[in-house]
Amino acid sequence: MRILQLCNKPPYPPIDGGSKAMHNLTRGLIKAGHEVKVLCISTPKQPLDLAALPAEYVRSTRIEGVFVDTSVNIVDAFTDLITADNYNISRFFSPDMDIRLIQLLSEERFDVVQLESLFMTPYIPTLRRYTKARLVLRSHNLEYVIQDRIASGERNILKRPYRRYLANQLRAYEMAVLDRVDGVAAITPSDAEHLSKHGSKTKIVTIPFGVDPDEYPVDPGDASKMPSFFHLGSMDWLPNDEGIRWLLASVWPRVVRKYPTAQLHLAGNKMPKDLMAMELAGLKVKGRVKDAIKYMRKRSVMTVPLFSAGGMRVKIIEGMAMGKPVIATPIGAEGIDHTDGKNILIARNANEFVEQMVGLIKEPERALQIGAEARKLITSTYSDHPIVAELTAFYKRLRKE
């Protein structure tokens, strides 16, 4: 099949969860023998630098980008608030991108257009006008669910109504989009269920994030050593920021009081200055790391304290692929076919988070057991090959209709 992949940011280099989700699927589709053309938005935050990309990747994907200034503009956001447009979505639309899309669709024929995330849906009218390809939304997250959870946790009584308004606005938009595409590939079963409740006749399947297990080395570690805890994630994403601040305020001080030599490592892009300067026993903070796999490999236990996210956490899949035990909140582990106590540890509140961390310090061999089971889960359920096969089978069914 000939597939046009429209991305809201460059999928390469795969430096965060969204880009990794896009890149891994691109790679899997190409390996399966399909022809993929990548057209992405080049943003101020994540610009596309073709000269820095591997030549083989550029050749096989024919990747190109169109610059779009997606930076938040207060005036535009206020204008959209008045006009009832959704600024979270509208800032990804650009006449330049639209023109390039028209040119491309006039020159080439595609069987499927894969819209990576809700942010690429403003281009649906142009796609309908210039191609007969099936349009499939790859839903990375239910954006309105994230906004709704953020609103529920918002302590500022002045901000809370605005966040609730944004959540309701996003929900209406997200549900309306269902009737404008031919299919949806949701990244988690819970997201697929949410979308199905809308009552749309649009076909919806679950296509999770996949990895190549061979790319994630397993370090069995030493069961006699106290495990080191870590969190790795972009800190300009609000759910990560709020979760880490909760961990540092409500959990970590209680752990180090019991075990003064315990260590917690934090790293990620856009690490706030106050966290970089924070002095807590056992806490080691740094910003962006050059090699995420190398960073994770040197640490023992992944912590994922999320309370307002949605979709599937790519970092958890990667950590589990490396045989790392993961301690996560229920929302953090959402979308992953896990078994609490076997291949992951779930903590619903501060007390449970402390108990899980202290438990692994007391029994480091248990950390190794959970990590080994986590690796088995990823190998059997989240490998690229079967996931790509399921997606392409879905595309073939849509093309026959």
Can you name the residues that pair with 114 across neighbouring β-strands? Answer: 5, 136
The whole-angstrom separation of Cα 353 and Cα 395 is: 42
Q: Which of 33-37, 194-198, 346-350, 382-386 is predicted with the least confidence, judged by mean pLDDT?
A: 194-198
Tell which residue, 26, 49, 43, 50, has the closest CA to residue 119: 43
Domains 2-210+383-400 and 214-381 share a fold: yes
**Cut 0.85: pTM above it:** no
pLDDT value for 141: 66
pLDDT value for 80: 42
Question: Can you tell me the mean pLDDT for 15-44?
Answer: 93
Task: Say whether pLDDT at 149 is over 70.
Answer: no
Grade residue 360 by pLDDT with cuts at 50, 70 and 90: very high
Reduce the DSSP state of residue 387 to 3 states and report it.
helix
Task: Say whether pLDDT at 144 is over 60.
Answer: no
Taking only the tens place, the pLDDT of each residue in 244-267 is 999 999 999 999 999 999 999 999
Taking only the tens place, the pLDDT of each residue in 171-187 is 778 888 989 999 999 98
Task: Say whether pLDDT at 76 is over 50.
Answer: no
Taking only the tens place, the pLDDT of each residue in 286-340 is 999 989 999 999 999 999 999 976 667 889 999 999 999 999 999 999 889 999 9
CATH code for residues 2-210+383-400: 3.40.50.2000
User: Which structure tokens are listed for 332?
Assistant: 């953090």
What is the CATH topology of the domain spanning 214-381? Rossmann fold (3.40.50)
Nearest-5° angle of CA 303, CA 44, CA 188?
40
pLDDT value for 38: 98
Q: Do 303 and 327 meet the contact criterion of CB atoms below 8 Å apart?
A: yes
The amino acid at residue 342 is K
Residue-range domain boundaries for the chain: 2-210+383-400, 214-381
Nearest-5° angle of CA 128, CA 121, CA 53?
105
* Max Cα–Cα distance, the chain, nearest Å: 66
Taking only the tens place, the pLDDT of each residue in 199-216 is 778 999 999 988 999 999
Torsion of the alpha carbons at 211, 42, 86 and 193, rounded to the nearest 10: -10
Q: Average pLDDT over the chain, rounded to whole?
A: 89
pLDDT value for 73: 56
Task: Say whether pLDDT at 34 is over 90.
Answer: yes
